Amino acid sequence: MKKSLWVAVLLLAGVLFSASGVGNAGLKNYQCRKCALLVRSENVPPAMGCRADEGGHLWQELGPVGAMNYHCMKCRVNVESRWEPNVQGCPASGNHQWNRLGKIGPVNHQCRKCGLTVRTEETPNPIGCPNGGNHQWYKSK
């Protein structure tokens, strides 16, 4: 009797734990279509405080936070995303143009040409430097 009760309690605790959004479970990426600010949030962030418009941020949901780096060569944002982010609402113009740079890891890589820094396991994909041609990656601190 007692043993099965404890199992039930543990199962319930597990359900509550996973539902509370521990880790990145419930987080989504949101970017402002006006000022290009990127934030992680479970819900649509507040509109206050946009640098590009007194009327406030205009948030575009990009999708769930995850383990892959995606970079838009038009607005230069790098998004840590579960899959390819939403293409809609690039602050630069039209749709985002995403390049998959690689899986998130412990090493900082910086591009000599555009200055972008990404955390990856291996040397990131060189395709799509916003300053023209390919990124030139080196390991930074």
Q: How far is CA 123 from CA 5, 106, 130, in A?
A: 51, 11, 18
Burial annotation 86-100 (CB, 10 A radius, 16+ → b, else e) = beebbbeeeebebbb
Q: How far is CA 137 from CA 53, 76, 141, in A?
A: 34, 16, 13
- Does 118 bind Zn ion (CB under 5 A)? Our answer is no
- Does 72 bind Zn ion (CB under 5 A)? Our answer is yes
Nearer to Zn ion, 66 or 96 (CB): 96
- Does 129 bind Zn ion (CB under 5 A)? Our answer is yes
Nearer to Zn ion, 66 or 137 (CB): 137
- Does 33 bind Zn ion (CB under 5 A)? Our answer is no
- Does 71 bind Zn ion (CB under 5 A)? Our answer is no
Nearer to Zn ion, 4 or 101 (CB): 101
